[in-house]
Amino acid sequence: MTTDPYATERQTTEGPVYTVTGGDWDELLDSVAQDEHDDRIVINMGPQHPSTHGVLRLVLELEGETVTQARSVIGYLHTGIEKNCEYRTWTQGVTFVTRMDYLAPLFNEAGYCLGVEKLLEVEVPRRAALIRVLLMEINRIGSHLVCLATGGMELGALTGMTAGFREREEVLHLLEYLTGLRMNHAFIRPGGLAQDLPEDWREKVLDFVKVMHSRLPDYDNLLTGQPIWKQRLQGVGYLPVDGCLALGATGPILRSAGLAWDQRKIEPYSLYEEFDFEVPTETAADCYARYLLRVAEMRESLKIIEQACDKIEPGPVMVEDRKIAWPAQLSIGSDGMGNSLEHVRKIMGQSMESLIHHFKLVTEGFHVPPGQVYSTVESPRGELGYHLVSDGGTRPVRVHVRDPSFVNLQTMPAMSEGGMVADVIAAVASIDPVMGGVDR
């Protein structure tokens, strides 16, 4: 126990509470036993802790090393993004939602834009839909790499961490080349894309695919058969399919229990029905199964990327309706900021009416017919859904997001209770929650 005068034993409605500050864990347990206390030990893990997978606070009730009760405390990264979207135009909303699940920004953009396009009753050009698929699958690989890297770091496999972030850097370099930004791209817009891809995009993407094909086997050599890695993950964080369904879990958690539920196959969007790929599943329903699944999903994403390179043909990347197509063929200046002078001259040289329309479209936005819609995409963590409500104006009345991290996080107690403290770390890492999406 501590002798700190400011952290003495205190009484609560749940009984006495003791503050533990360092020392040896076995000695603490011995002292508790000697004092003939049968009180519970409650520890806080997080919200600032290298093993809590983000700004997440876990409150663990222990009997020795065994977790008898676990609960998560969220809200430390709250941004109010959903509410902020109500004060921005439909297009400006993209710049907000892309910042929620910041490891999968392109999925946030795609899910939001699919909902807006349903309300508008417009269909994006084929080239734009296929480029969306290409970008999302590249993003999926990057997200899974971060999951493996951070999970490895939290469990002590530091080489897995350095390898995962090395490959993720390849993903970010490619996305920066294709969209202009490494993260928070705001590249997918209602009606299509902000702009077309660079001329040599195909060569860059295929080079990336070649690199990933050469490096993915390293993870099998480094982790898959590694005895300590398997001992830390096998049989840990078990959650069978009925538990997944009862708690609403989707993504790798659900597929690790044997159910091949994937929005890309169940309810195809963005021309996914044209692609040939498998939905990997496992039946062990533990942390190791989720690890194997994510590695397998990266291989499937590479297959989709290669097919997308063959399918994408020349064409427009934004709908033709100029009352929706904002921004219209933006050109960036040499300083990387704003429109180029050539583009400004082109707008100024047109009629005054077109200049006024361009100004109103950017400042006020376009009107979306009244109604509500729910659109979904399969993010790296599961079903990402958007409930959008319009009253016919230029701003949404309501934007509510079913973020898979938020829903999946409630599986943590079911995975952790009855196990050891160390297994809580593995369970949370296998859930792969991104707190930006949880707290949005």
In a domain, 396, yes or no: yes
Q: Residue 404 sits in which domain range?
A: 90-321+366-439
pTM confidence score: 0.85
Same domain, 31 and 102: no
CA max distance for the chain: 88
Same domain, 55 and 111: no
Are 286 and 260 members of one domain?
Answer: yes
Does 146 lie in the same domain as 47? no
- CA-wise closest residue to 147 among 390, 405, 359: 405
425 part of a folded domain:
yes
Chain centre to alpha carbon of residue 172: 15
Please enumerate in sequence order all residues whose Cβ is within 8 A of that of 240, keeping only pairs 6 or more positions apart, or say none: 257, 285
- Asked if residue 1 is part of any domain, the answer here is no
b/e map 154-181, b = 16+ CB within 10 Å: bbebeebbebbbebbebbbebbebbbee
Q: What is the pLDDT of residue 1?
A: 47
Residues 342-366 have pLDDT tens digits of 666 766 676 677 677 777 777 888 8
Q: What is the DSSP string of 152-191?
A: HHHHT-HHHHHHHHHHHHHHHHHHHHHHS-SS----EETT
Q: How many domains does the chain have?
A: 2
Are 311 and 396 in the same domain? yes
Same structural domain for residues 225 and 298? yes
Those residues whose C-beta lies under 8 Å from the C-beta of residue 29, and which sit 6 or more positions away, are 64
387 strand-pairing partners: 374, 400
Q: What is the pLDDT of residue 2?
A: 47
| Residue 330 placed within a domain | no
Distance set, CA 62 to CA 36, 343, 371, 416 (Å): 16, 65, 50, 11
Tell whether 50 and 192 lie within a shared domain: no
- Provide Rg for the chain, Cα atoms: 24
Q: Can you list the residues of the chain whose pLDDT is less than 70?
A: 1-10, 12-39, 49-52, 326-344, 346-348, 350-351, 354
Flag whether 81 is in a domain: no
Residue 3 lies in a domain: no
**pLDDT score of 180:** 86
pLDDT tens-digit map of 281-326: 999 999 999 999 999 999 999 999 999 999 999 988 888 887 777 6
Domain-terminating residue out of 45, 73, 101: 73
Can you say whether the dihedral through the CA atoms of 197, 203, 209, 212 is positive or negative? negative
